[in-house]
């Protein structure tokens, strides 16, 4: 995936992490379609998705530090402003403004459903936005699966889980669960037992040709006392599917 | 107190780290682990028949095994009792299960680093696969720890020697070709450890950049 990419894929919005992944002072690193990304939230609250390379000497920006609204590279201390990515200062050139051309490579950012979304190409403003997701939701534990997205998608249609409110009771025959594939990278799943229902959305992040992250969202308000049990339930069930997927479709080196 | 030490050893470093965090006076006896194999010399085997570093000697008491040394140091010198709390059986059991986990990480992630950096004849694929299996378990554990309480290995607002025992070879994993891209909760936890007051480094492990 490091070579030429399908332009439609480059224009598509993908989740790159959960909001919960962006802790204060922590620069999150991931990949999308083989491109390394540094994702961070500055002091001004702006979420940034940048190429994980300092434009000066190529150092990984994720090794740097967040200083208020700026990211400082660990190598030569160049600072880049949140939002624009413009270089604001060069320690070795005190008193001189940084050249306007010196700028971190930025990608567009969209926050929806507790997830941070981005896309590699922003040349088509009319591209379909990330899906609308209920305001109140919980991020599930994101699973990195060592398989291609197309293979993960095939296995994920088998996802079965239980309504959150029913987790304290033993599983019974009358429980229903269906997982429907919306498109190549997203799924909608619902579980029901009598009047108890839960809805889950699953989104695939194609990390590279060998790895796919499954981002899950448990929709709606979850009672505080049920939250951890629900998160554990989904981590366990999705973890089983991950293991099954890796047995069925082990990642292979592309020629 | 003398620590028989090798600067590039993660197991020696975890002892140096706790000594620093607890501000315990000590002296180091540097060993020529590589290439001299001084840890396999007759005089050292008399101290530790296993021929492994580190070894701690205090007033004639000789203690081997990094995890055991952490237990000893915390029990003897940590007045707060927070690094190795012995009063809570559940917590004590958990800490010890993670000390065993740290040993498993030594046998995989550290072994991979010895293969890549010190030319040890190990099955590198097996070392790396084993480390990734353990890292997966650790990442999910830490993700839930972030939601439950503090984000440390064991419950409670304060880190324990389990964090110290696990930290070095997880942080050094890339020297054995084991990337941490797929373990975000592990990366956040590594940052938390590196932000501890009194944190010290070793070659290959850097302090978090200073904040303005």
Q: What digits encode the pLDDT tens for the residues B16-60?
A: 999 999 999 999 999 999 999 999 999 999 999 999 999 999 999
Please measure the distance between the N-terminal and C-terminal CA atoms of chain B and give it in whole angstroms.
38
Give Dmax (Cα) for chain A: 73
pLDDT at site A136: 83
Instruction: Kindly tell me if the per-residue pLDDT of B212 is higher than 50.
Output: no
* Closest CA of chain B from A141, distance in Å: 7
Closest CA to B155 of B212, B94, B80, B102: B94
| B210/A65 Cβ within 8 A | yes
* Closest CA of chain A from B107, distance in Å: 23
- By Cβ distance, the residue of B182, B184, B210 closest to A21 is B184
Contact A201, A113 (CB under 8 A): yes
Quote the ipTM score: 0.94
pLDDT at site A127: 62
pLDDT at site A26: 94
Chain A residue with minimum CA distance to B212: A67
Q: Is B58 an 8 Å CB contact of chain A?
A: no
Q: Is B146 an 8 Å CB contact of chain A?
A: yes
Q: What are the residues facing A176 on neighbouring strands?
A: A192
pLDDT at site A8: 85
Chain A residue with minimum CA distance to B146: A20
Report chain B residues whose CB lies below 8 A from the CB of A20: 146
A211-219 vs A137-139, strand pairing mode: antiparallel
What residues of chain A have any CB closer than 8 angstroms to a CB in chain B?
17, 20-21, 23, 25-26, 28-31, 64-65, 67-68, 72, 74, 141-142, 144, 207, 211, 213, 227-228, 231-232, 235, 239
Hey, which CATH number is domain B89-194, 1.20.1050.10, 3.40.220.10, 1.10.10.10, 3.90.580.10?
Answer: 1.20.1050.10
* Closest CA of chain A from B182, distance in Å: 6
Residue segments in chain A with a per-residue pLDDT below the cut of 70:
1-3, 125-128, 253-255
Structure token pair of residue A122: 């922003």
Quick: pLDDT tens for B123-167. 999 999 999 999 999 999 999 999 987 899 998 889 999 999 999
| A30/B181 Cβ within 8 A | yes
| A72/B209 Cβ within 8 A | yes
Q: What is the DSSP string of A176-200?
A: EEEEEEEETTEEEEEEEETTEEEEE
Averaged pLDDT score across all residues of chain A: 92
Averaged pLDDT score across all residues of chain B: 96
| A30/B211 Cβ within 8 A | no
- B208: pLDDT confidence band, cut at 50, 70 and 90? confident
CATH topology of domain B2-77: Glutaredoxin (3.40.30)
Chain B residue with minimum CA distance to A143: B182
Q: Which of B141, B155, B184 to mutate to test the interface with A (most CBs of A within 10 A)?
A: B184
d(CA A176, CA A160): 9
List the domain boundaries for chain A.
Answer: 7-118, 137-248
Structure token pair of residue A130: 């990330």
Q: Is B32 an 8 Å CB contact of chain A?
A: no
| B181/A25 Cβ within 8 A | no
Query: What does the pLDDT average to over B111-134?
Result: 97
B2-77 matches B89-194 in fold: no
CATH topology of domain A7-118: Rieske Iron-sulfur Protein (2.102.10)
d(CA B115, CA B92): 34
Length of chain A: 255
Q: Is B188 an 8 Å CB contact of chain A?
A: yes
- By Cβ distance, the residue of B143, B182, B208 closest to A141 is B143
Report chain B residues whose CB lies below 8 A from the CB of A207: 181-182
- By Cβ distance, the residue of A21, A28, A74 closest to B209 is A74
Torsion, Cα A95 A100 A104 A107, to 10 degrees, reads 140
pLDDT at site A130: 76
Q: Is B143 an 8 Å CB contact of chain A?
A: yes
| A65/B209 Cβ within 8 A | yes
A24 exposed, middle or buried (CB, 10 Å; 0-12, 13-18, 19+)? exposed
pLDDT at site A252: 74
Q: Which of A17, A138, A142 to mutate to test the interface with B (most CBs of B within 10 A)?
A: A142
List the domain boundaries for chain B.
Answer: 2-77, 89-194
Q: Is B140 an 8 Å CB contact of chain A?
A: yes
Hey, which CATH number is domain A137-248, 1.20.58.220, 3.20.20.140, 3.30.530.20, 3.30.1240.10?
Answer: 3.30.530.20
* Closest CA of chain A from B200, distance in Å: 18
């Amino acid at each position: 995936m490091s070579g030429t990419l399908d332009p439609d894929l480059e224009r598509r919005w993908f989740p790159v992490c959960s909001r919960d992944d962006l802790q204060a002072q922590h620069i999150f690193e991931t990949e999308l379609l083989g491109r390394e990304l540094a994702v961070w939230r500055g002091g001004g609250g702006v979420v940034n998705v940048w190429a994980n390379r300092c434009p000066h000497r190529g150092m990984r920006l994720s090794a740097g530090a967040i200083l208020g609204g700026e990211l400082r590279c660990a190598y030569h201390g160049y600072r880049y402003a949140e939002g624009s990515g413009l270089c604001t200062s060069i320690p070795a050139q005190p008193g001189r403004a940084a050249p306007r051309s010196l700028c971190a490579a930025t990608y567009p950012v969209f926050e929806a459903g507790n997830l941070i979304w981005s896309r590699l190409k922003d040349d088509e403003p009319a591209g379909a936005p990330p899906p609308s997701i209920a305001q109140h939701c919980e991020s599930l534990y994101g699973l990195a699966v060592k398989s291609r997205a197309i293979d993960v998608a095939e296995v994920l249609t088998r996802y079965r889980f239980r309504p959150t409110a029913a987790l304290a009771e033993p599983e019974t025959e009358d429980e229903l669960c269906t997982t429907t594939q919306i498109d190549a990278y997203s799924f909608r799943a619902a579980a029901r037992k009598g009047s108890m229902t839960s809805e889950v959305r699953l989104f695939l992040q194609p990390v590279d040709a060998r790895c796919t992250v499954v981002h899950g969202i448990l929709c709606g308000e979850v009672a505080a006392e049920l939250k951890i049990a629900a998160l554990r339930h989904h981590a366990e069930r999705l973890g089983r599917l991950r293991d099954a997927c890796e047995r069925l479709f082990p990642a292979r080196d592309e020629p | 107190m003398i620590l028989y030490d090798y600067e590039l050893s993660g197991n020696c470093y975890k002892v140096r780290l706790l000594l620093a965090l607890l501000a315990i006076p000590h002296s180091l006896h540097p060993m020529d682990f590589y290439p001299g194999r001084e840890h396999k010399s007759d005089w050292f085997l008399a101290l530790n028949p296993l021929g492994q570093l580190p070894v701690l000697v205090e007033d004639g008491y000789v203690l081997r095994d990094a995890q055991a040394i952490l237990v000893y140091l915390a029990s003897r010198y940590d007045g707060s009792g927070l690094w190795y709390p012995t009063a809570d059986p559940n917590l004590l059991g958990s800490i010890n299960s993670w000390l065993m986990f740290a040993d498993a990480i030594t046998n995989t992630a550290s072994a991979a680093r010895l293969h890549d950096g010190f030319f040890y004849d190990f099955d590198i694929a097996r070392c790396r696969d084993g480390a990734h299996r353990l890292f997966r378990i650790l990442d999910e554990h830490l993700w839930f720890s972030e939601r439950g309480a503090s984000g440390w290995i064991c419950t409670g607002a304060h880190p324990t020697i389990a964090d110290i025992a696990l930290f070095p070879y997880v942080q050094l994993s890339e020297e054995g070709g084991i990337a941490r891209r797929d373990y975000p909760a592990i990366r956040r936890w590594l940052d938390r450890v590196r932000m501890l007051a009194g944190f010290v480094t070793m070659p290959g492990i850097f302090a978090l950049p200073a904040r303005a």
